[in-house]
Amino acid sequence: MSPKATALVELQDLTKIYGSGESEVRALAGVSFRIDPGEFVAVMGASGSGKSTCLNMLGCLDSATSGRYLFCGLDVGTLSIDQLALLRRNYLGFVFQGYNLLARTSALENVELPLVYRRVPAAERQQSAIQALQDVGLGDRMHHVPSELSGGQQQRVAIARAIVTSPQMLLADEPTGNLDSARKVEIMKLLQKLNQDRKITIVMVTHETDMAAFATRTLHFKDGLIERDLVSEKVSA
């Protein structure tokens, strides 16, 4: 029997404690799981359950109190601040509930921004950004500024910006939180399609069961621990 392939991410008895003494908060109380390349994982739980802290750990935005976080077999806890920044820049994409777009900048220029930080030549940068916008169905809106776009379209621009660097993992924090029901489904179908077509691993925090149903797996957090780890039937795109 061949050994199991290296996980994209693996958490081993990870804890995160804020404060000390009577004010101590154990946000993560010893969490262990692995995510393989190509998975689409929804993370659910009540407020304070640890789901957002876990997402911050996966995004290298916070450090663990104890335990280990392995990314492609590499112990993230051993990396310097500069190395963590490179890992985020080169391997991770982020999508938030707020779109965080530059107001006076076109959709195309917003999507190009991560490539500017990478010092990608202008022509190559523009070509990659146009492709990313086409992939999210906004090829005909690339020259519009955010105020000329609907909420759903702005979130599509934010997703295009997150995938323009071809990340290995996309981390989404309540990506449909500011949208109406129809736009929520559109965004979830888009994420599902990117997962299937681009093979991007997606980890998404959500409090909505019907949004989590688009994922292939759901982690339910409670009191800093994983209460349930369920493989779900994927909603067809």
Tens digits of residue pLDDT in 167-201: 999 999 999 988 999 999 999 999 999 999 989 99
Determine the pLDDT at residue 233. 57
The whole-number pLDDT of residue 23 equals 85
| pTM of the entire predicted model | 0.92
Band (pLDDT 50/70/90 cuts) for residue 13 is very high
pLDDT averaged over every residue in the chain = 92
Widest CA span in the chain = 57
**Closest residue by Cα to residue 212 from 204, 222, 202:** 204
What pLDDT score does 4 carry? Answer: 66
Give the neighbor-by-neighbor strand order of the sheet with 9-18. Answer: 25-35, 9-18, 66-71, 74-75
Domain 39-64+90-231 has CATH 3.40.50.300: yes
Cα-flanking dihedrals φ and ψ of residue 145, to 5°?
A: -85, 160
Q: Look at residue 220 in the predicted model and tell me its pLDDT.
A: 95
Pairing label, strands 217-222, 66-71? unpaired
Is residue 1 predicted with pLDDT exceeding 60?
A: no
Q: Is the pLDDT reported for residue 236 higher than 50? A: no
Q: In the chain, pLDDT over 90 holds for what percent of residues?
A: 86
Q: Looking at residues 55-76, what average pLDDT do you find?
A: 95
Please give the Cα distance from 111 to 107 (Å, whole number).
Answer: 6
> How far is it, in rounded angstroms, from Cα 111 to Cα 157?
7
| Sequence-distant contacts of 225-233: CB under 8 A, at least 24 apart | 225/29, 225/30, 225/31, 225/50, 226/31, 226/32, 226/33, 227/45, 229/33, 232/42
Nearest 5 degrees, angle CA 63-CA 54-CA 207? 150
Residues 87-125: tens digit of each pLDDT: 999 999 999 988 999 999 999 999 999 999 889 999 999
Average pLDDT estimate for 47-66 = 93
Query: Binning pLDDT at 50, 70 and 90, where does residue 6 land?
Result: confident
